Amino acid sequence: MILAIESSCDDSSVALLKGHRLIGLKQSGQEEHQRFGGVVPELASRAHQEWLSLMIKDLIHDTSTSWSDVQAIAYTQGPGLMGSLMVGSAVAKGLALTLDIPLIGVNHLHGHLVSHFVEHEPEGIFPMLSLTVSGGHTHLVWMESWLEGSMLCETLDDAAGEAFDKCAKMLGLPYPGGPVLDRLAREGNPGAYAWPLPQLGNEAYSFSGLKTSVLYYLAKQKPDLEDRQDSALRDLCASIQSTVVEVLMRPVVHHAGLRKPRSLGLAGGVAANSLLRSRFLALGEHLGCQVHIPPMSWCTDNAAMIAASARILLEHGKISGEAMGQKPLPRWPLMEYLGELSVLNLGLQGGS
Ligand code: KG4
Ligand code: ZN
């Protein structure tokens, strides 16, 4: 049984995973960031400090788990906000030391990648073409197995979620703007505005051009927009959303056609986007391959995916560095992490 802690950004989350059964999961979003229009790192770490240990106490109590049943502590070692990571790391180290059980540092991006596989690992998923899209990351990877892969396409500037949030903010929508923009887009015309698409081929994403175009357009048109508010706002949302999704999908369609994966994966907060989900499902049907998209609640940051990533490490006898000496890593590229995994020697008895 693995107890996992996620605290990379502004979501505090703890989970208990026994093999492939999620015994319990507690989540606590931090609403105090809303009035600042973005995550305030100092407030995020303070909230983790306040909530994490209480959540762990409740998790153990509510699932009637005995501490002696917990066999390993997993936590998000990076990437993320330094202060937030430090709080999760301190709690995890303290627990592992006191309970005298293994400590497993998990890469948050690998957590997202496996977030659809917390409770089941279907046969025949590899090679998998997997897109991770969140507020801080946007990349398309080719996974040969759970722990081996290569980077196909990465963002040069903003992440897709950041593009959604920044455009939504310019439109006067509340933070985080991605879900609100998605909702308004459903009643808008995606063809009402033509935003420029970056001409970067299929090896790089970019979203800063879109952000600038929306900014310049609004600076000129805002009074006009205020007059025609509702429908113009919905059209703007629909056209921005369809542009972001088009930019995301082009390399996916290209590499899927070229490499013929056995499955497609979509993960991260932006995987909750309705248009992106439907484009992925349609592509999977067209190619005749499996499509793995986590349920909505597991798209955003959660400890269940951190527990699943730790289980995969244990199953493959791999670990990232000497446990108690681990440092939080605010910047920790996925491929660097996979390349540096070393053979595990945790002294664990039997399976979980
Ligand atoms: O993975 P996540 O919870 O946190 C990070 O690790 O960044 O992703 C949060 C991001 C935010 O930018 C949020 O606006 C975006 O995911 N998001 C969406 C939707 N739901 C969440 N973006 C577009 N459409 C959505 N439905
Ligand atoms: Zn995330």
Residue nearest to atom 1 of ligand 1 (CA): 269
Residue 348: its pLDDT value, please? 46
Answer whether residue 349 shows pLDDT above 50: no
CATH of domain 2-114+299-342: 3.30.420.40
Answer whether residue 37 shows pLDDT above 50: yes
CB 153 within 8 A of CB 335: no
Residue nearest to atom 14 of ligand 1 (CA): 178
The domain segmentation of the chain, as residue ranges, is: 2-114+299-342, 122-295
Residue 40: its pLDDT value, please? 87
Answer whether residue 294 shows pLDDT above 50: yes
Instruction: Locate 133 and state its tokens.
Output: 């899209």
Find the mean pLDDT for residues 148-154: 95
Residue with structure tokens 């939080």? Answer: 328
Query: Ligand 1 centroid vs 317 CA: distance in angstroms?
Result: 32
pLDDT, tens digit (0-9, with 9 covering 90-100), for 328-342: 999 999 999 998 886
Task: Report d(CA 200, CA 206) in Å as an integer.
Answer: 8
Query: Ligand 1 centroid vs 176 CA: distance in angstroms?
Result: 7
Answer whether residue 269 shows pLDDT above 70: yes
CB 314 within 8 A of CB 73: no
**Ligand 1 binding pocket includes 188 (Cβ within 6 Å):** no
Task: Report d(CA 280, CA 37) in Å as an integer.
Answer: 30
Ligand of minimum distance to the alpha carbon of 6: 2
User: 3-state class of 6 per DSSP?
Assistant: strand
Structure confidence at residue 127 as a pLDDT band (50, 70, 90)? very high
CA of 73: how far to CAs of 20, 22, 30, 127, 245, in Å?
16, 15, 24, 29, 37
Residue with structure tokens 């919905």? Answer: 234
- Index of the ligand 1 atom closest to the CA of residue 272: 26
Task: Report d(CA 309, CA 290) in Å as an integer.
Answer: 21
Ligand of minimum distance to the alpha carbon of 300: 1
CB 174 within 8 A of CB 34: yes
**Ligand 1 binding pocket includes 301 (Cβ within 6 Å):** yes
Answer whether residue 298 shows pLDDT above 70: yes
Residues with CB under 5 A from ligand 2 (ion): 134, 301
Residue 237: its pLDDT value, please? 97
Q: pTM for the complete prediction?
A: 0.93
Residue 351: its pLDDT value, please? 37
pLDDT, tens digit (0-9, with 9 covering 90-100), for 211-223: 999 999 998 876 5
- Index of the ligand 1 atom closest to the CA of residue 112: 1
- Index of the ligand 1 atom closest to the CA of residue 177: 14
Query: Ligand 1 centroid vs 161 CA: distance in angstroms?
Result: 5
Domains 2-114+299-342 and 122-295 agree in fold: yes
CB atoms within 10 A of CB 296: 12
Residue 296: its pLDDT value, please? 87
Task: Report d(CA 342, CA 60) in Å as an integer.
Answer: 31
**Ligand 1 binding pocket includes 79 (Cβ within 6 Å):** no
CATH topology of domain 122-295: Nucleotidyltransferase; domain 5 (3.30.420)
Task: Report d(CA 161, CA 127) in Å as an integer.
Answer: 26
**Ligand 1 binding pocket includes 78 (Cβ within 6 Å):** no
Give the rounded percent of residues in the chain with a pLDDT score beyond 90: 82
CB 255 within 8 A of CB 142: yes
pLDDT, tens digit (0-9, with 9 covering 90-100), for 102-121: 999 999 999 999 999 999 99
**Ligand 1 binding pocket includes 9 (Cβ within 6 Å):** yes
Residue 321: its pLDDT value, please? 62
Task: Report d(CA 16, CA 284) in Å as an integer.
Answer: 32
Query: Ligand 1 centroid vs 99 CA: distance in angstroms?
Result: 35
Residue with the bigger pLDDT between 39 and 13: it is: 13
Residue 224: its pLDDT value, please? 60
Find the mean pLDDT for residues 146-175: 94
Find the mean pLDDT for residues 88-113: 96
Structure confidence at residue 229 as a pLDDT band (50, 70, 90)? low
